[in-house]
Structure 1
């Protein structure tokens, strides 16, 4: 039973997350020859205040231009 965990910054619409789950499921099933029913996908949405690189959070960086 393949298990895929995806972490990303929160804020995407539910339909975007749903599309991601479908795409990941298809890719894993095709790559491994596993039945789709056995593929597990966990999506973790992280607040921008809880994700940092180089001691700077995403929230502190502000919007990307």
Structure 2
């Protein structure tokens, strides 16, 4: 049974996450030769304050971008 884990920023809609689940499951079925019911997909959502890019949190990057216009 494959277990696929993805870490993403918070803020995606339920619809987006459900589409992600469906597509990742389908890829696993096609490439790993397993049944859909054997695939497990887990999303770990991270707050923008806890996601760092180049030494700045994503929240700070977004704040600075908004301030620029």
Consecutive aligned runs of 4 or more in structure 1 exceeding 6 Å deviation: none
Residues matched between the structures, number: 64
| 1:14 counterpart residue number | 14
Query: What's the TM-score, normalizing by structure 2?
Result: 0.86
Are 1:42 and 2:66 an aligned pair?
A: no
Q: Which has the larger share of helix?
A: 2
Structure 1, residues 15-40: CA drift from partner, whole Å, max 9, x if none?
11001000000001110001111100
SS in 1 for 2:41: strand
Query: What's the TM-score, normalizing by structure 1?
Result: 0.90
Structure label with greater radius of gyration: 2
Are 1:60 and 2:69 an aligned pair?
A: no
Structure 2 alignment gaps of length 5 or more: none
